[in-house]
Amino acid sequence: MSDFIKRPSRRALLSGLAVSPIAVAGIGSFTSSARAQAQAAGLISANVCMVMPEVTEGPYYLDEALLRSDITEGREGVPMRLRLQVVTAECAPVEGARVDVWHCDAAGNYSGYASQGSDGTNDTEGETFLRGTQMTGADGVAEFRSIYPGWYRGRTTHVHYKVFLDERTVLTSQIFFPDALSQYLFQSVPPYNDRSAERDTMNGNDGIAKQAGEGAYAAIREQYDFYDAALVVGIDPSATSAEGGMGAGGPPPGGERPDGPPPGGVGGPDQGGSAEVFIPGRTASE
């Protein structure tokens, strides 16, 4: 039998992914069959090639033209490899797209601004940590080395990004992460747990996360030295970004914290999970 008959078509693979639901309690996780389908279709994660909705840019974007893959600048935190694959709605990779990313550090601070953090007292003007730009390769992938982002009042854990084509912004959006993993890190792992305050906003009560939808959640996989966070970003190449709608006014408050423990199965001892959770790049004694 020929390979043409034995191998499913690209269209069939993509159709299968398009109808594969993301488990509500396991956003960021996909079945092995879904991952295999995605890999066969040339995708780095199993979220489908939908055109991503645009959400607010927020108040902390800086166009510093920092062409670099390592954006850490010595900031402490759990290492994370962040990969964004820019594709069209037909899952065709977009080569040569500019991708900008920026996010807060473990203490909730962005670089480059005064009055930082949930208490508004930290000044990071002139600093450029956790910001960077990469161009996508032939596979549509832009890759960054960073740390797992922290949190600040009114927002769930997230990373901002912009996609540019021909000096034109085609998409401004955000990437989100599993609540259970975030909660464990923030409660149990330094420097995230150095803070006395508890976060007030999770995915379920963050208005921007709701607007972005399930396709905006990164697929997270543990590696020995880092977390691998991957997202397929579907764009409309003919679109022009509205620069986020709410502009420099920033995101709205996330609302009240929901009752009860965080969802999912990566809780620490206080959440009924195992205390022996593997943290990439760290030994059990750290």
pLDDT along the chain (286 residues), means of 10: 42 49 41 57 56 82 91 97 90 92 96 82 92 96 97 94 90 94 94 91 93 87 91 87 46 30 31 43 54
CA distance 284 to 286: 6
CA distance 263 to 11: 35
pLDDT, position 245: 31
CA distance 159 to 147: 11
Backbone phi, psi, residue 281, to 5°: 80, 5
pLDDT, position 130: 97
CA distance readout (Å), 209 to 99, 114, 144: 20, 26, 22
Architecture of domain 50-249: Sandwich (2.60)
DSSP conformation class of 163: E
pLDDT, position 259: 31
pLDDT, position 181: 94
CA distance readout (Å), 215 to 20, 141, 161, 208, 230: 12, 17, 14, 13, 11
CA distance 91 to 71: 28
Residue pair 268/187 in contact (Cβ under 8 Å)? The answer is: yes
pLDDT, position 148: 98
pLDDT, position 39: 59
The residue to which tokens 């002139």 are assigned: 126
